[in-house]
Amino acid sequence: MGEKILMKGNEVIAEAALRAGCRHYFGYPITPQTEIAHYFAKKMPQYGGTFIQAESEVAAMNMVYGAASAGARVMTSSSSPGISLKQEAISYSACAELPAVIVNIVRAGPGLGGILASQCDYFQATKGGGHGDYRMVVLAPSSVQELYELVVEAFNIADRYRTLCMIMGDGMLGQMMEAVEFRDSEDICEADKSWAVTGTGMKRDHNIITSIYIDPEVLEKHNQKLQEKYRKIAENETRVEVYNCDDADIIVAAYGTVARIIKNVIKTAEKEGIRVGLIRPVTLWPFPTAAFEKYAQVPQAFLSVEMSAGQMVEDVRLAVNGKRPVHFLGRTGGMIPTQKEILEKIREILK
Amino acid sequence: MAIVFQRPHALRDTEMHYCPGCTHGIVHRMVAEVIDELGIEGTTIGVSPVGCAYNNYLYFNCDMVQAAHGRAPAVATGIKRVHPDNVVFTYQGDGDLAAIGTAEIVHAANRGEKITTIFINNAIYGMTSGQMAPTTLIGQVTTTSPFGRKPEIEGYPLNVCEMLSTLKGAAYVERVSTHDIKNIRNAKKAIKKAFQVQMAGLGFSIVEVLSTCPTNWGIDPVKALKWVEEKMIPQYPLGNFRGKDLEV
Ligand SMILES: Cc1ncc(C[n+]2csc(CCOP(=O)(O)OP(=O)(O)O)c2C)c(N)n1
Ligand code: SF4
Ligand SMILES: [Mg+2]
């Protein structure tokens, strides 16, 4: 391993992307993730790469579509309202099977909302914010170190499956200064990109990147191919952290920065003789259903804690499948659930 | 026997789907001939629009990418920044370029993006059956301006070349027409120059081509050509707006 340095989450995202071989970034400024763009703007020229501040998020994501078509490792980043604007090209990229990485440093909504940390875009990211039957891999790091590792991983998954990968964080993670240890070099998957548009060189038939299939039979076939790919991704790429769940009285489901709060709650509860487990989905899609199934009969109840009005809890309920009650505690608007209120909720559930 | 007329190599041997008398096909042919003459088929990447030309990726022999409605200049930007030594062109209609894609074309031009845009102005939305376009003429009847376009309600025809020619990044801006042989020859010259401007790295280049849509104009192909000459040209004067004297 390389040296340990103190860095801001947002800057680590950009640094990790550069280390993963990303040389093309297209974005549009929005709080709380602008440091990502600042970092790229400064560094890209040294790497001979491209940084473009696009005219909008719509354009930025369509530039990503172009660069990915051309075979590049490419990334964009934004926050909630900007991610909404990217949905057009997200859906087109999913259909055209273009690999790319999208970062959403989520802020509280709906609407222009606020700029503080939130997890209110879970539905949008995991259930398809754009139109059509598609999925994208959604990775939810909970520390700056993990942010680095998952950004590198996101590029590899994207290339390996010709899919979109989203990193979902929040302003807390983006602004957090934490020690990060970079590897000396990255394991970069060398994917076959013979499908990309590079110019035929008069040596092969032309390549076409498209998302339009007018013939319903052909489109259905294409959809089946996509679904088969998503099935494979779910089989191979589901990631989850299971912590303290054996003999747990209650198992909390939480991801990202909220999972950090739960780890503190676990310590405090221990002193009261309450054993709290944590299932932390690292991939929000594919959702780690198997982990919940495995522990479904262990605790008295489950509790999903989120910075939302109740989004991931729906997937927890599906996974637990009625075997135990599934409770919910959520804060919205940029408010963060406190250890105290989580602990009170746990006591009340177990009463 | 000498061959005097043959399909350009850059055009595939496929039947096109355009209506009889539609000038989309003529413009395709000109673009392909220019690609042949410049010997750039192997390095060219085209971007197809949303509009009647949505699947012209089937017609051109070079690598092709199909873009979302109006986004071709952004998609082309992404491609060109990855492959700066390739030739990248977009082919877009007037709904695509001058309505939903206004931001993308203005900013690609303003960045001086080294791409070439072939802009088909037929004063209408062809593909979706004849709705008003930003380029629809005053008084022109369309399915969404059934009583004729009224400026007090729908505003005025948008002159794209005039607008883009105010931008420094737009190196070459020219409007041409397809309504007769002489103008078709001029159009091809302009298209060639636009590609050469890109190849010389001088900046953004665009050729607006006044075209017909007999189907949605509700007139026969011959009348349609006359309509271009008599009605469209007064609103959309032909000629060069920028980069006339560029050495390429
Ligand atoms: C986002 C989106 N909105 C609307 C449409 C429907 N649509 C398809 S083609 C078209 C108009 C194209 O007109 P133009 O660009 O003038 O091309 P033409 O057919 O005249 O060549 C529209 C509105 C679409 N495909 N995508
Ligand atoms: S609808 Fe109009 S623009 Fe489209 S192919 Fe027919 S004539 Fe051409
Ligand atoms: Mg049109």
Domain CATH for A253 = 3.40.50.920
Angle at A86 between CA A223 and CA B98, to 5 degrees: 100
DSSP B97: I
Looking at ligand 2, which atom is closest to the CA of residue B52? 4
Q: Which among B58, B64, B65 has CB closest to A66?
A: B65
Q: Ligand 2: does its nearest atom lie under 6 Å from the Cβ of B178? A: no
Query: Does A104 share its domain with A252?
Result: no
Query: Does A316 share its domain with A224?
Result: no
Q: Is residue B34 part of a domain?
A: yes
Residue A2 has pLDDT above 90, yes or no: no
Residue A3 has pLDDT above 80, yes or no: no
Query: Does A162 share its domain with A256?
Result: no
Query: Does A187 share its domain with A246?
Result: no
pLDDT digits (tens, 9 = 90+) for A15-32: 999 999 999 999 999 999
Residue A186 has pLDDT above 70, yes or no: yes
Angle at B174 between CA B168 and CA B176, to 5 degrees: 165
Query: Does A231 share its domain with A264?
Result: no
Q: Which region, left, alpha or beta, applies to residue A54 given φ > 0 means left and ψ of -120 to 50 means alpha? A: beta
Is residue A41 within 8 angstroms of chain B, CB to CB? no
B113 CA to centre of ligand 3 in angstroms? 24
In this structure, the residue with its CA closest to atom 2 of ligand 2 is B213
Q: Is residue B150 part of a domain?
A: yes
pLDDT band of A279, cuts 50, 70, 90: very high
pLDDT digits (tens, 9 = 90+) for A35-94: 999 999 999 999 999 999 999 999 999 999 999 999 999 999 999 999 999 999 999 999
**Residue B60 near residue B28, CB atoms below 8 Å:** yes
Print pLDDT tens along chain B (248 aa).
667 678 999 999 999 999 999 999 999 999 999 999 999 999 999 999 999 999 999 999 999 999 999 999 999 999 999 999 999 999 999 999 999 999 999 999 999 999 999 999 999 999 999 999 999 999 999 999 999 999 999 999 999 999 999 999 999 999 999 999 999 999 999 999 999 999 999 999 999 999 999 999 999 999 999 999 999 999 999 999 999 999 88
Range of the domain at A291: 241-350
Q: Which residues contact B185 (CB under 8 A, 6 or more apart)?
A: none
DSSP H or E segment with residue B172: strand B170-177
Closest-CA residue to A120 (of A345, A337, A331):
A331
- Dihedrals φ, ψ of A2, to 5°? -85, -160
Q: Where are the beta strands (DSSP E) in A79-234?
A: 100-106, 137-139, 164-170, 177-181, 208-209
Per the listing, tokens 């009224």 go with: B150
Closest-CA distance of chain A to residue B5, Å:
22
Closest-approach residue (CA) in chain A for B67: A210
Specify the pLDDT at position B6.
87
CB contact under 8 A, A69 and B71: no
A215 CA to centre of ligand 3 in angstroms? 24
Around Cβ A221, how many Cβ atoms within 10 Å?
Answer: 12
**Residue B205 near residue B197, CB atoms below 8 Å:** yes
Q: Ligand 2: does its nearest atom lie under 6 Å from the Cβ of B22? A: yes
Q: Ligand 2: does its nearest atom lie under 6 Å from the Cβ of B227? A: no
**Residue A110 near residue B123, CB atoms below 8 Å:** no
Per the listing, tokens 């104009």 go with: B217
Closest-approach residue (CA) in chain A for B59: A206
Q: B23, B122, B136: which to mutate for ligand 2, most atoms within 8 A of CB?
A: B122
Half-sphere exposure of B66 (CA within 13 A, CB side): 22
Residue B230 CA to chain centroid, in angstroms?
Answer: 20
In this structure, the residue with its CA closest to atom 9 of ligand 1 is B51
Cα–Cα distance, A277 to A253 (Å, whole number): 9
Q: State both tokens at A79.
A: 């926050």
Query: Does A278 share its domain with A327?
Result: yes
Q: B15, B17, B22, B50: which to mutate for ligand 2, most atoms within 8 A of CB?
A: B22
The average pLDDT across A180-186 equals 96
Domain CATH for B231 = 3.40.50.970
Looking at ligand 1, which atom is closest to the CA of residue B213? 20
Which of B65, B85, B91 to probe the A interface (max A CBs under 10 A)? B65
Of A221, A237, A253, the one marking the end of a domain is A237
3-state secondary structure of A170: strand
CB contact under 8 A, B78 and A199: no
Spell out which residues line ligand 1, taking CB within 6 angstroms: B 50-53, 69, 93-96, 120, 122, 124-128, 133
Which of B47, B77, B85, B89 to probe the A interface (max A CBs under 10 A)? B77
Q: State both tokens at B111.
A: 């960045």
Domain CATH for A124 = 3.40.50.970
Question: What proportion of chain A, given as a percentage, has pLDDT over 70?
Answer: 100
Query: Does A121 share its domain with A201?
Result: yes
Q: Is residue B16 part of a domain?
A: no
Cα–Cα distance, A279 to A241 (Å, whole number): 6
B49 CA to centre of ligand 2 in angstroms? 14
Cα–Cα distance, A28 to A53 (Å, whole number): 6
The average pLDDT across A178-190 equals 95
Structural domain total, chain B: 1
Specify the pLDDT at position A175.
95
Range of the domain at B198: 24-242
CB contact under 8 A, B78 and A56: no
Query: Does A232 share its domain with A256?
Result: no
Query: Does A268 share its domain with A324?
Result: yes
Q: Which among B57, B68, B83 has CB closest to A70?
A: B83
B243 vs A3, which has greater pLDDT? B243
Structural domain total, chain A: 2
Specify the pLDDT at position B5.
75
Q: Is residue B4 part of a domain?
A: no
Specify the pLDDT at position A10.
98
Q: Is residue B71 part of a domain?
A: yes
Residue A1 has pLDDT above 80, yes or no: no
Query: Does A118 share its domain with A21?
Result: yes
Question: What proportion of chain A, given as a percentage, has pLDDT over 90?
Answer: 99
Of A237, A265, A300, the one marking the end of a domain is A237
Per the listing, tokens 């009625």 go with: A322
